[in-house]
Amino acid sequence: MNTAELIKIINAGENSQVQFKQQLKAKQADDIVAELVAMSNFQGGKILIGIEDKTGNIIGQDFESIEKANNYLFNWAANNIKPSINIFTDTVSIENKLILIVTIPAGIEKPYCDKNMVYWMKSAANKRRVSPEELKRLYQNAGKLYAERQPIADTTINDVDLIIFRDFFQKRYKEDFETEEISRLMTNLRLMKDDKLTIAGTLLFGRNVEILLPELYISMVSFWDNEFITNDYRDSENFTGNLLQQYKNTLSFITSILRKHQGNQSFNSLGIPEIPKIVFEELLINALVHRDYFIHDSIKLFIFPNRIEIKSPGKLPNSLSVEDIKQGIQRRSRNIVLTSFVSDVLPYRGIGSGILKSLKAYPNIEFENNTTAEYFKVTIYRPKID
């Protein structure tokens, strides 16, 4: 192997990380384990032993040092990391000097921590401790924790809108129940936990949701022109309440501001909306049901003369890409309880179908999955005015 081939190794992988270590000794255990954990919790990486960290100069290692390094690494990966990880090592010769290349795959049992129960994550070329909110999302992405199932402090069965829940229960299960049974039923349906409403239970059947979950609403801003950065805007409003209230009020507002044209209809007709109503029906439900509820922020609705944007907290779950959802590829939802029950509350048709229905009705839509800032944005371009 030559230097050019080493550069290819360093540059391999769009998001994987590479670290240089001049040598590896037993006293470096905590630091190296933290690197292994951080890379496993991210998208993998490589550690090249025998290269000076600051200069990149190739120092090389002798056979005895490489053998010791291998023993340390495999021992630490198996015994100092929870759950244990798999690593791969390879010895290569560069400029007649031996280099140990350690490959750390992206973990499949995230999140990982060191023996002191510290969770690490890569941040650019460095590592840092994972914040509590990030740790929740790591567990969420691994399917080990669900935001929608988290109980809300200070809530009780009295915060349930009994009329809405009864209508739902009768529609779904074709039977009624005694009022004193509601706590047991909601617990069985994972809408309550420890006698408190969960986020899903509150969003679907709660009263005074704007008080119980003050961050979870739809925030609308209407602009005079097409620029986002401005202090002068046309209008702003927050659509609060349970999911049905947020959906109905937001859809009603969007419908009211859409431009209408007569087409071939009579002069006295109501006119045809510039964008089919079904587009917003589907995309609003998609935003409300599939957003990341571990991120305490509102859904943003931005209205410009040339476009309408719906920006949801959280990137696409389960490594889905924009191309995946445009092809109708479906994977397990991050909000399983909401997905299961929302069709009896909202006109929800199922995972993946909303995007396809929107594109079929109106193809001039773009999607952005921002994995760094953790948001998913839909941009619906409005027809030009003649």
| Three-state secondary structure of 200-243 | HHHHHHECCHHHHCCCCCEEEEEECCCCCCCCCEEEEEEECCCH
Looking at the structure, tell me whether residues 155 and 302 fall in a common domain.
yes
pLDDT band, very low/low/confident/very high, at 319 (cuts 50, 70, 90): confident
For the chain, give the percent of residues with pLDDT over 70: 92
Name the pLDDT band for 5 (thresholds 50, 70, 90): low
The predicted structure's pLDDT at residue 266: 56
For residue 259, give the CATH number of its domain.
3.30.565.60
What confidence tier does 16 reach under pLDDT thresholds 50, 70, 90? Answer: low
Mean pLDDT of all residues in the chain?
89
Q: 267-304, pLDDT tens digit by residue?
A: 556 678 899 999 999 999 999 999 999 898 999 999 99
Quote the pLDDT of residue 272: 85
**Which pLDDT band holds residue 37 (cuts at 50, 70, 90)?**
very high
pLDDT given for residue 132 in this prediction? 83
Instruction: Encode pLDDT of 191-203 as tens digits.
Output: 999 999 999 999 9
Question: pLDDT digits over 238-257, tens only?
Answer: 999 999 999 999 999 999 99
Shared-domain flag, residues 98 and 218: no
Query: Is this prediction's pTM over 0.75?
Result: no
Domain count, the chain: 2
Mind listing the pLDDT tens digit for each residue in 100-124? 999 999 888 889 999 999 999 987 7
What is the CB neighbour count within 10 angstroms for residue 230? 10
Quick one: pLDDT at residue 57? 87
CA angle 96, 101, 107 (to 5 degrees): 170
- Helix, strand and coil in the chain, % to nearest 5: 35, 25, 40
Helix (H/G/I), strand (E/B), else coil: 322:
helix
* Host H or E run for residue 39: helix 29-41
Q: Has residue 293 been placed in a domain?
A: yes
- 121 and 228 part of one domain: no
Higher pLDDT, 216 or 328: 216
How confident is the model over 350-370, as a mean pLDDT?
88
Instruction: Provide the pLDDT for residue 71.
Output: 95
Largest CA distance in the chain: 90
Are residue 86 and residue 178 in the same domain, yes or no? no
In a domain, 90, yes or no: yes
pLDDT above 60: residue 149? yes
* Whether 200 and 316 share a structural domain: yes
Q: What is the pLDDT of residue 123?
A: 76
pLDDT surpasses 70 at 7: no
Same domain, 270 and 153: yes
Residue 140: inside a domain, yes or no? no
